[in-house]
Amino acid sequence: MEAAAIPFAIAALCCAAFLVSFLRDRRRLRNGFYLFFALLFLGVTFIALLASVSPEAAGFVAVGVILLIIPTVLALTVFLICNGITMLRREGRRLANVLSLLTGIGICALIVFNATVTQLSWEPLDIVRGILNGLVVYFSFLFVCFLLYSIVYGRIRTEKGVDFVVVLGSGLLDGHRVPPLLAGRLNRARRVLDAEARRGGEPMVVTSGGQGPDEDLPESHAMAEHLVGNGVPRERILLEDRSRTTFENLTFSAEIMRQRKADYRCTVVTNNFHVLRAALIARRAKVNGQVIGSPTAWYFWPSATIREFVAIVVEHKYKNLVVCGLIVLSQVSRAFS
């Protein structure tokens, strides 16, 4: 029991930090780190408690968890490669569509590289292996925290009684048609409107999206026409047609909402893979509202999620560069010590 006291205390502290941070503002990336460490130390506490009753059973569980890592990594690698091939067939050859394939190939290459270095036993290559493995562990940790909190955030019910529903644009087909991905967002927004109407509310819809160089009209205009065609009164639709990025989507939409109502509350609609990053951007843009997601085709989700993670890593590039630099220095200094 004493062995479980320390991990349980750490787990309790992480849980408390998560709850406080979450209640203050759920749109914070650090909530995912608190949640990860809370679950991690709860798991350690469970094994420690089990060891106090049956050391053999605790050892069996610990070894089982470790042994599961290898088949899990192999299964993930196969899935990512197959998913990448599916993306290429269905969505075409674009960098954003091959991220899952590149990740799967990268895992294979890392496994082969580690095995090769072990056979060669050459110190310079061993240093490189240490650096690569350290970087992979670091970014894998970040990705797990990101994915964990993305799932949690995306399943939290949003506040009721909103004044506006903001729909983020995602590009048009053939310069003028709403693609299935964007149609899913608009359909989710319409469901929010219907739910608010049943409670007696009449929120306005803000369709947000400017005109790209290959588009015949602003995205927000095509989105508005789609909503009108599905029964949403035109007078309940506001157009934000200047934006080019998600940050501009939310910043310009916030200006429109504040002009209508200073103390507004809103719900922002995007796709489920984009929910957490959109929420982080909404906080930065000082938007008073939470983000919800619409369903995405299963084959599209892995590459899109990886793309969102990469975008967040780039947005925090200086912090990540510092950590990566420390990983490199630790391996180089170990080699010369």
Taken in order of first residue, the domains within the chain and their CATH numbers are 83-155+300-336 (no CATH), 164-296 (3.40.50.620)
What pLDDT digit, counting tens, does each position of 222-259 carry? 999 999 999 999 999 999 999 999 999 999 999 999 99
- Distance between CA atoms of residues 260 and 264, nearest Å: 8
Rg of the chain over CA atoms, in angstroms? 24
Distance CA 31, CA 146 (A): 9
Helices (H), 121-245: 123-154, 180-198, 219-229
Q: Which tokens go with 142?
A: 């970040």
> Which string of b and e fits 215-231 if b means at least 16 CB within 10 Å?
beebbbbbbbbbbeeee
Total residue length of the chain: 337
Give the pLDDT confidence score for residue 1 in this predicted structure: 58
Tokens coding 3 = 């062995």
* Cα distance between residue 278 and residue 283, in whole Å: 9
Interhelix angle 219-229/180-198, rounded to 10 degrees, is 50
pTM of the model: 0.91
Percent of residues, the chain, with pLDDT higher than 70: 99
Q: What is the tens place of the pLDDT at every residue in 128-171?
A: 999 999 999 999 999 999 999 999 999 887 777 899 999 999 88
pLDDT of residue 237: 96
